Amino acid sequence: DAGVIQSPRHEVTEMGQEVTLRCKPISGHDYLFWYRQTMMRGLELLIYFNNNVPIDDSGMPEDRFSAKMPNASFSTLKIQPSEPRDSAVYFCASSQDRDYGYTFGSGTRLTVV
Amino acid sequence: EDQVTQSPEALRLQEGESSSLNCSYTVSGLRGLFWYRQDPGKGPEFLFTLYSAGEEKEKERLKATLTKKESFLHITAPKPEDSATYLCAVQGFSGGYNKLIFGAGTRLAVHP
């Protein structure tokens, strides 16, 4: 298995622009998570899905953030409009069962200038 | 609210110098405690899950232990390739199934 695949690896955008981050989870994993990592706040859970249904989005910072999972093999995290404070590394992770922990992707480093 | 505190923030060891990393947690009912390793520019990599006080798990030079209030990651005779950030996370009953809350991590540097 190729693991959790995220794209792009790096994204630089101007303030006010729309940004879309993509994730392909491991086949057969029922849970998908979006995390954000910064030096100040560490790893923060933004939202997670179970069987493509959003379960907990309490970590989504503002209405500017939205996430979708149209099918079991694809999810997106969208920021519109983007702001400099959104600059961070965004990780996607998937899980089959709690005994195995999460498998994280390599992350998308987002820079908003 | 579930919380995880890791100490120290950073640790520098000589190769072969054993030590321990600490993870203190507050959670309303512990489902599981997780340890991850994160290398620069990469996502966290799963190491262990512990479920109940007294449980221990080992992998090569790493051993994780769990009490009712904290977990330790013991590193025996570390090598430079053990250098990484080690993250602790808890899964509690109140946060929703399968939701992990992470600590800030301990940055470990092992020098030859």
Q: pLDDT per residue over A19-75, tens digit each?
A: 999 999 999 999 999 999 999 889 999 999 999 999 989 899 889 999 999 999 999
- B43–A91: do the CB atoms touch at under 8 Å? yes
Please determine, for residue A99, whether its predicted confidence score (pLDDT) is greater than 60: no
Mean pLDDT of all residues in A78-87: 97
- B98–A48: do the CB atoms touch at under 8 Å? yes
Residue B29: the pLDDT is: 85
Q: Are residues A14 and A27 in contact, defined by beta-carbon separation less than 8 angstroms? A: no
Q: Hey, is the C-beta of B104 within 8 angstroms of any chain A C-beta?
A: yes
- Chain B residues near residue A43 by CB distance under 8 angstroms: 44, 87, 89, 102
- A98–B44: do the CB atoms touch at under 8 Å? no
Mean pLDDT of all residues in B3-9: 95
Residue A2: the pLDDT is: 81
| Nearest Cα residue in chain B from A91 | B43
Residue A64: the pLDDT is: 96
Six-digit token string for A100:
């195995």
Please determine, for residue B93, whether its predicted confidence score (pLDDT) is greater than 80: no
- A102–B44: do the CB atoms touch at under 8 Å? yes
Q: Hey, is the C-beta of B93 within 8 angstroms of any chain A C-beta?
A: no
Closest CA to A103 of B47, B24, B19: B47
Q: Hey, is the C-beta of B32 within 8 angstroms of any chain A C-beta?
A: yes
| Nearest Cα residue in chain B from A42 | B104
Q: Hey, is the C-beta of B49 within 8 angstroms of any chain A C-beta?
A: yes
Cis peptide before A61 (omega within 30 of 0): no
User: Rounded to an integer, what distance in angstroms lies between the CA atom of residue A102 and that of residue B101?
Assistant: 12
Six-digit token string for B37:
């390793």
